[in-house]
Chains A and B, each alone.
Chain A
Amino acid sequence: MNNLLRFSGTDRYVATDDLMMAVNAAITLARPLLIKGEPGTGKTQLAQEIARALGRPLYEWHIKSTSKAQQGLYEYDAVSRLRDSQLGEERVHDIRNYIVKGRLWEAFESAVQPVLLIDEIDKADIEFPNDLLRELDRMEFYVHETRELVSARHRPIIIITSNNEKELPDAFLRRCFFHYIRFPDEATMRAIVTVHYPHLKRELLAAALAVFFEVRATPGLKKKPSTSELLDWIKLLLAEDLPPEALRGTDPHKVIPVLHGALLKNEQDVHLFEQLVFMHRRAR
């Protein structure tokens, strides 16, 4: 049966060989897959595409700096129960009325094997991953209030993303497969753009990619443009219906590429890039 479950990218998502291998290993062994990589390289999208490709329901759990592991399992709303008891409500007698299910619980209850995305786990407190060890390992947890054990009907395919803001604990890492999404090389990038904009003119794509990799190569940028920014930019170029010549910019007065706002996200970067291009042109 496992042979049927193979992820090989979708019509909207280009997966490299090593990424596919990591995903398939994680699916086959039903272990979480930890994905790292530069922002904008499609980490979050991966989970969505896996769910789509395999036709599975997707549960997304987005982590914030205040998130706690318990919230993913369930929360006991003691406060409203206390209030209800004051008001003499009937439902107060059953504690189950006050157990609010979290995303993990929902995923565990799914009738078919679901995909669970735990997004940006590094945003949470440093102990957060440690609090999920048993849940990810055994795919079960204990509800103390009702004394019941919740275990997964089907082990979910768990995709965890991280932006590397914090180190993750070893015990947690040991339970995951790991993949680092490298920034795509030019050929992969071409494939990605083609997937998103199949009717793009070839010259425009070539010119756009050249400008894009030139911008990325600028030393000292605070935020290097990534795949998602390139896609945005190309969308803009298409909307403006610009000819490829406009991108080559031989005019020395227009030093930076048109619509650069999609690529460079802060003014220091724009300024730096301007200066560098200017110096470069003068040197020629």
Chain B
Amino acid sequence: MLVRFFFELRTAGIPVSITEFLALLAALEARVAEVSAQDFYYLARACLVKDERHYDRFDRVFARIFHGAEQAFAQLVATVPAEWLQSLALRAFSEEERRRVQALGGWEKLLATLRERLREQQQRHAGGNRWIGTGGTSPFGTGGFNPEGVRIGELGAGARRAVKVWEQREYRNLDDTVELGTRNLKLALRRLRRFAREGALDELDLEGTIDATARNGGWLDLKLVPERHNAVKVLLFLDVGGSMDGHVRICEELFSAARSEFKHLEHFYFHNFIYETLWKDNQRRSATRIPTERMLRTYGRDYRVILVGDAALSPYEIVQPGGSIEHWNEEAGSVWMQRLCAAFPRLVWLNPEPAERWAYAPSTEITRELIAGRMFPLTLEGLDLAIGELRRPLGGAAAALAGTGATSVTQSPPPGVS
């Protein structure tokens, strides 16, 4: 019975291991739980589920397995030492209560009715107290009588635990299905993070110590270098609206993946291309506008920049002042892009469009030129490449850029001003 439960949980995608299963058995043997389905449920959940996102799935499996569980639970109980059941015997029904149960057609029938009613209920916990009464929900024991047991209708006053806890599915909201889709992306993004963990120890500056000791005439003079902190800093720029609507989903997945990976993560939204303002909250874009220039001043060169967008727009929107479709921009998008490149040597552009199609959009080609070819498709492989690019040490990236002539652009006047 429990073994089946275990495998069902695994099938449902909850990562349960043998260790945890054995822990549950040990806990049962140690009599942590009384003989009640609810206690057993709580215990099993604490032992087997290690992430609140899996609570809902666990509830569903539990309900399915222990759905017709009177016999099954009795079996389980039968394998349990006899004194475990003594507490039950002590709390056995009074004569009057027994009679009342009999009047309703016996215990078995009572439970069957209960289950039926549970099934009939559309919204399980709403109106629960009308259907099922108070107290615990522990109908399962060898004798079949339990004063805390399931009561129906007129017998019970309304109470919080009217419906079995696992059937209420209170943790539905925590089951993060978006998360599943982002797992691959997360793997790739984790590499970026791992990079920052080098040199986690407090280090003795050996060269410095030798140097200082020598100057000190052989008298030891210790030099320590400060610990390097775990800080991958990332600026994320997301293209929203317009041609990106089709890609919004994949973008948001990347976004939610990135969110949990970095301590320092700032995100900005832009529309089609980078101009003089960005915004932080897409719902209230006019209220939260930030001058791009201030953004450039605020964040240091050690930030890594990830732009997400399809760069599918009219070429004028990039190269012409006033080219933006939303407002009049004094300076062309390309100028702002060059400033961004100069301020943040480590920058990549992730493009959700398949790489084969890039060549057909002139704007994509222009953008790629602007960022010295550092555009990658939004696939696992593309992410690997992009992160490899971001991991490059600062000097290397600058040198690579110097070859393309893209670093000196901040000084150049905006093109096309007549």
Residues of A with Cβ closer than 8 Å to B? 2, 17-18, 21-22, 24-26, 28-29, 31, 33-34, 36, 65-66, 68, 79, 82-83, 86, 125-127, 165-167, 170, 173-180, 182, 185, 187, 220
Contact = CB atoms under 8 A, between A and B. Distances in A.
Given A34-B50, A170-B15, 16 more contacts: A18-B46, A18-B165, A21-B39, A25-B27, A26-B46, A28-B27, A29-B23, A29-B26, A29-B27, A82-B220, A83-B220, A83-B222, A170-B50, A178-B46, A178-B49, A180-B55
Nearest to B197: A125
A179 B52 CA distance: 8
B33 to A, nearest CB: 7
Contacts of A17: 38, 42
Q: Which 10 A-B pairs have the closest CB atoms?
A: A21-B42, A180-B52, A22-B46, A173-B50, A18-B42, A178-B50, A177-B46, A25-B32, A28-B30, A25-B27
Contacts of A126: 193, 197
Interface in B16-43: 17, 19-20, 23, 26-27, 30, 32-33, 38-39, 42-43
Contacts of A83: 220, 222
Interface string B148-173: 00000000000010000100001100
B7 to A, nearest CB: 17
Contact of B227 (A28, A36, A66, A176): A66
Contacts of B33: 21, 25
B52 A166 contact: no
Given A79-B222, A174-B17, A166 B260 contact: yes
Contact of B170 (A24, A31, A179, A182): A182
Nearest to B30: A28
29 contacts: A2-B30, A17-B42, A18-B42, A18-B45, A21-B43, A21-B46, A22-B42, A25-B32, A25-B43, A33-B46, A36-B52, A65-B263, A79-B222, A82-B220, A83-B220, A83-B222, A86-B220, A125-B197, A125-B230, A165-B260, A167-B260, A174-B17, A174-B19, A176-B50, A177-B47, A179-B46, A180-B55, A185-B160, A220-B283
Contacts of A25: 27, 32-33, 43, 46-47
B51 interface: yes
A65 B46 contact: no
A173 B23 CA distance: 13
B219 to A, nearest CB: 7
B200 interface: yes
A183 to B, nearest CB: 10
Nearest to A78: B204
Interface string B197-222: 10010000000000000000001101
A173 B15 CA distance: 10
Interface of B: 15, 17, 19-20, 23, 26-27, 30, 32-33, 38-39, 42-43, 45-47, 49-52, 55, 160, 165, 170-171, 174, 193, 197, 200, 219-220, 222, 224, 227, 229-230, 260, 263, 283
Contacts of B52: 36, 180
Nearest to A180: B52
Contacts of B55: 180
Contacts of B220: 82-83, 86
Nearest to B224: A79
A65 B229 contact: yes
Contacts of B49: 178
A211 to B, nearest CB: 23
Main SS of the interface on chain A?
A: mixed
Given A18-B42, A166-B260, A29 B222 contact: no
Nearest to B136: A17
A79 B43 CA distance: 48
Contacts of A66: 227, 229
Contacts of A33: 46
Contacts of A34: 50
Nearest to B16: A174
B30 A125 contact: no
A182 B55 CA distance: 11
A2 B55 CA distance: 28
Nearest to A186: B160
A148 B229 CA distance: 32
Contacts of B51: 173, 178
A29 B30 contact: yes
A31 B38 contact: no
Given A29-B26, A176-B50, A187 B200 contact: no
A116 B160 CA distance: 34
Contacts of A185: 160
B229 A68 contact: no
A126 B200 CA distance: 12
Contacts of B46: 18, 21-22, 25-26, 33, 177-179
Contacts of A125: 197, 200, 230
A167 B261 CA distance: 9
A152 to B, nearest CB: 19
A125 B43 CA distance: 30
A68 B200 contact: yes
A21 B165 CA distance: 14
Residue in B50, B171, B220 whose Cβ sees the most chain A Cβ within 10 Å? B50
